[in-house]
Copies of this chain bind each other. A is one copy, B any other.
Amino acid sequence: MELVSENRSFDGKQLVFKHPSNTTGCEMTFAVYLPPEAEDGKVPVLWYLSGLTCTHENAMTKGGFQEHAARNGIAIIFPDTSPRGEGVADDDAYDLGQGAGFYVNATRDPWKPHFRMYDYITQELPSLVMDHLPLEDRHGITGHSMGGHGALTIALRNPERYDSVSAFAPITHPTQSDWGRKQLSAYLGDDEGNWSQHDSTLLLDELGWKNDILVDQGASDQFLDLLKPEALAAAMAKRRQPGQVRMQKGYDHSYYFVSTFAADHVEWHAERLL
């Protein structure tokens, strides 16, 4: 794990690291914000998974999360959204390949050798950061758009690891969306039976979630037809799942939406992790 940059921010530290990854077979970059409390002891962790076309950097620079993490005394980790590099498969489309890992383990060529973001996020990166940073083994997870899909599906499948889950404008039902069918087909093949483990609406309907869930969605989001918040809301209502899907009047899909509600989410996770 090699330090790429360090900046003081809200009396804590905004750090960027890179490391060779066994899981993805390439060098991976991630960012972590450590609050002032981390100088004196271990702090809980909130994982923030980013959306299509993003790297570790977008939420780190535009989300305004540091202020809220400092105030609440929790760390936030910002992983990259896919493997990257010359030897890694890619596609000309913005929504497939590098920058669009969809948080799955690909089983099909050409993606299979490197596109293993599910294992990277749930296994390798947690193990690495717990070994090297002052972090408690206590985790919440959130994300935006494709990252909201990642957060929800990963939490629902791993309730023993995560104690809180929320999402900003998540892709909720990828098996029925053009943000999903194309990618799941490419990464996992055409047998749709293999897709359901990566669809939070289907997972929630099947498994439920042990605590409450917080989802914020801009009511003027330009991608509502692809995100399908109504699918997740219906599954939550049907299952009597504690939680809320908040439709926020006037907000779009941008980081102006994410930063507006970042304080609510960080505080909400902190209440459940501390």
Contact = CB atoms under 8 A, between A and B. Distances in A.
Contact of A256 (B14, B255, B263): B14
A220 B8 contact: yes
A260 B66 CA distance: 9
Interface stretch (A81-89, A192-200, A246-254): A246-254
A8 B259 contact: no
A9 B253 CA distance: 11
Nearest to A218: B8
A256 B7 CA distance: 7
Given A8-B250, A254-B7, A259 B62 contact: no
Interface in A200-256: 218, 220, 250-252, 254-256
A8 B218 CA distance: 10
A255 B220 CA distance: 29
B64 A61 contact: no
A124 interface: no
Name the 9 nearest CB pairs between A and B, nearest first.
A9-B256, A7-B256, A8-B250, A64-B64, A8-B251, A10-B260, A61-B62, A7-B254, A14-B256
A35 to B, nearest CB: 13
A161 B108 CA distance: 65
Contacts of A11: 260
A101 to B, nearest CB: 24
A82 to B, nearest CB: 23
Nearest to A65: B64
A119 interface: no
